[in-house]
Amino acid sequence: MNNDTDFRPLADRMRPKTIDSYIGQAHILGETKPLRMAIEQGRLHSMVYWGPPGTGKTTLARLITKSCDAQFLSISAVLSGVKDIRAAIVKAKQYREVYDKETVLFVDEVHRFNKSQQDAFLPYVEDGTITFIGATTENPSFELNNALLSRVRVYVLKSLTTDNIKSILDIALNDSQVGLGKLELSLDDATFNKLAEVVDGDARRALNILEIVSDLSEKGVVTEALLNDVLVEGFSRRFDKSGEAFYDQISALHKSVRGSDPDAALYWFLRMIDGGCDPFYVARRVVRIASEDVGNADPRGLRLALDAWETQERLGSPEGELAIAQAIIYLACAAKSNAVYKAFSTAMQDVRETGTKEVPLHLRNAPTSLMASLNYGKDYHYPHDAQDGYVAGENYFPDDMKDKTYYYPVNRGLEIKIAEKLTLLKERNKSSRKSK
């Protein structure tokens, strides 16, 4: 047990006190990087830190505040509202009047504030009452309004590497002041490495687990069995069912299928399923992929995708997920064509731009004598009565619209044969129209 009189959690006690002791984020904190220079020179500017949990967003905000000898105020968008924002502004103004120093207002999980709440910061950021620092795990482009984004600089923080986590754990195990050094804990290499790997780049999570296993250890010996008991299933995986991580992963799955990589496609599918994604969402997307990226190069792909969807409906998990995986692998291996998708998009553009054109009389049905007297269906040639089931030279577009080609089959899969047939039919059309 840790008998230190400081009852703060280990993760809080272990916050680095200087920028030199801060581990990770070298891409923004390297010697010549703007943020590092701002911290060292004590120059404040409003900013937003965007990155996964446990990457040091709060710590970084505290470090830059300390380096600038400013007041640090913190609110959480989960628990706060406009009233709390106003109270912080009052404190900032009072601090400026009494000490003639700046105030950093740190807003954790700023993406949880709605647009009007975010607007409450604007005048005070604009007039310098506060230096705004926000922290978010969500893409600021989607979650923050443009007015606030235009007044801040966004810094992207990355998940810590396994080596970063090992360095942090090593400090925690050996530091006798704020870490667990006094306990002289014993972890073998396998246990230590597993702890560093299982936390998915989250330093706070790593330190929390270390603190728990230290409390539960017998005579300071932390075994892999004890670590496994503490870890809950799914502990190492990061996924959300509606945020950017969700859309990033479905995008990766789609692009892996399009790129004919069945192994990567299967990996992303299982990442999503493991994270709690609804299998029916993936099934719908797979049907879309079958039309958009495989199309008529292999029409069997669409049928297989629909069969997988139906299997999921009938059997549920995990049997249905295996069928979806089968469809994903098939589509990844199939010949690819986006010809149908491109034809659809181009034709839709014409539909929207050319107005409501009349259907030619010869293409209309004439179920009544009146309609027949108005020449509905007159001069229509029934293809099944023609040679090879095709009426050469017939026009199926509106009368005042030139023939268009939307569908260009690719030179892959079944579309090779489709292209050959369409080329032959177009030649017959040309010959027929020249002879008229």
Task: Sketch the domain layout of the chain as residue ranges.
Answer: 25-156, 162-230, 244-333, 346-435
CATH topology for the 25-156 domain: Rossmann fold (3.40.50)
- Which pLDDT does position 241 carry in this prediction? 59
Handedness of CA 309, 313, 314, 319 (dihedral sign): positive
Phi, psi angle pair for 318, to nearest 5°: -90, -5
Tell whether domain 346-435 is in CATH 1.10.3710.10: yes
- Which pLDDT does position 242 carry in this prediction? 57
Q: Show the CA angle centred on residue 232, arms to residues 227 and 235, nearest 5°.
A: 100
Locus of tokens 């687990």: 209
Q: pLDDT grade, residue 8 (50/70/90)?
A: confident
Q: pLDDT grade, residue 89 (50/70/90)?
A: very high
Collect all residues with Cβ–Cβ distance below 8 Å to 310 and sequence separation of at least 6: none
If one compares 31 and 336, the residue with the highest pLDDT of the two is: 336
Q: pLDDT grade, residue 1 (50/70/90)?
A: very low
Distance from the first to the final alpha carbon of the chain: 98
Tokens of 213: 């296993």
Considering just the CA atoms, what is the radius of gyration of the chain in Å?
A: 32
- Which pLDDT does position 363 carry in this prediction? 92
Query: What percentage of the chain reaches a pLDDT higher than 90?
Result: 72
Q: pLDDT grade, residue 177 (50/70/90)?
A: confident
267 by DSSP, 3-state: which? helix
- Which pLDDT does position 39 carry in this prediction? 85
**Other CB atoms within 10 Å distance of the CB of residue 279:** 21
- Find, among 31, 54, 18, the residue nearest to 135 by Cα: 54
Tell whether domain 162-230 is in CATH 1.10.8.60: yes
- Find, among 349, 338, 347, 346, the residue nearest to 288 by Cα: 338
Q: What's the whole-model pTM score?
A: 0.68
Contact 196/224 with Cβ under 8 angstroms?
no
- Which pLDDT does position 3 carry in this prediction? 47
- Which pLDDT does position 243 carry in this prediction? 64
Question: What is the arithmetic mean of pLDDT over 195-221?
Answer: 91
The CATH classification number of 244-333 equals 1.20.272.10
